[in-house]
Amino acid sequence: MIEAAIKPDVHAFFDKRTSSVQYVVTDPGTRHCAIVDAVLDFDEKSGATATFNADQILHYVEANGLKVEWILETHPHADHFSAAHYLQLKTGAATAIGSHIVEVQALWKKLYNWPDFPADGSQWSRLFSAGDRFKIGDMDGFVMFSPGHTLASITYVIGDAAFVHDTMFMPDSGTARTDFPGGSAEQLWQSIEAILALPEETRVFVGHDYQPGGREPLWESTVAEQKSGNTHVSKCKTEAEFVAMRTARDKTLPMPRLILAALQVNISGGRLPQAEANGKRYLKIPLDALGEAKWE
């Protein structure tokens, strides 16, 4: 049930390099806020990391006199590094992700051959389960378990706003892929159905926008608009139709270019690898780990 007595202010930051949308969600009364799905910059060609996106968010927070209470993650991202740890160091705010992250950690620690990696979610301040409630200032938020894209995906419902990340995109872009390890088209359909059962005026904020047709980036719709116009959902009347469509589409998609780099950072809560004896950090890329490639 949505508790929309307080309507949050939502400010978005679009990262063109990864087509990601990051959010600052603010209680207008107390000026307390949460940061959702922040990006740590990474250039795979040079191996360089930077904090351009995160620092832009911190500048917005400071310029508007906000207090960061939460640094929220909807799921472990496959297409960008998380800035959660960096932002926690800068703000002291609690970090959070869905409790099923431990299943994702267990899966990926095997792929990376990290027998000593602590797959217990201890890299975050709090692990949210379905139905958990939390506060941002005087605003109420609650958590929906939204698996399908990943094992650990969740939706944050804060006031009249739902942050769904890769469950659905803007109506002209459809829905998220389900062919990552632990993904499920059946579960994604069920997760979408649960989100679309929220009140029709609920604002829906997505985590990516790939700008079909070259249009300007967009990230906000409503439950009503998703029901009537989502190019995948509105054309599939049954779960079986959706699963067939999603499965066929996923077979044509190459893996995200950063998936093997990003997951080892993101299952660690956004922490980069520890420096080795020479003072340098190194990513570990398992070869031939994700099945047959879609050569581009």
**Domain regions of the chain by residue span:** 9-169+203-219
Decide if pLDDT at 155 tops 90. Answer: yes
Mean pLDDT of 215-236: 95
Decide if pLDDT at 283 tops 80. Answer: yes
pLDDT single digits (tens) 13-38 = 999 999 999 999 999 999 999 999 99
Phi and psi based region of residue 156 (left: phi greater than 0; alpha: psi -120 to 50; beta: remaining): beta
pLDDT (0 to 100) of residue 85? 98
pLDDT (0 to 100) of residue 294? 79
275 secondary structure, DSSP code: P
Decide if pLDDT at 122 tops 80. Answer: yes
Which of 67, 57, 72 has the alpha carbon at shortest distance from 12? 57
Q: Rounded distance, CA 210 to CA 170, Å?
A: 9
Phi and psi based region of residue 282 (left: phi greater than 0; alpha: psi -120 to 50; beta: remaining): beta
Confidence of residue 295 (pLDDT cuts 50, 70, 90): confident
Mean pLDDT of the chain: 95
Q: Rounded distance, CA 94 to CA 78, Å?
A: 22
Decide if pLDDT at 44 tops 80. Answer: yes
Domain 9-169+203-219 listed as CATH 3.60.15.10: yes
User: Considering the entire predicted model, what is its pTM?
Assistant: 0.95
Cβ contacts of 32 within 8 Å, gap of 6 or more:
26, 66, 67, 68, 69, 136, 137, 139
Q: Rounded distance, CA 131 to CA 128, Å?
A: 8
Exposure string of 125-142, with b = 16+ CB inside 10 Å and e = fewer, is eebbebebebebbebbbb
Residue showing tokens 């044509």: 252
pLDDT single digits (tens) 73-105 = 999 999 999 999 999 999 999 999 999 999 999
Residue showing tokens 């899966």: 107
Decide if pLDDT at 6 tops 70. Answer: yes
Mean pLDDT of 208-229: 96
Q: Rounded distance, CA 147 to CA 169, Å?
A: 15
- Neighbouring C-alpha atoms within 13 Å toward the C-beta of 198: 31
Which of 50, 8, 42, 19 has the alpha carbon at shortest distance from 209? 19
Tokens of 131: 């139905």
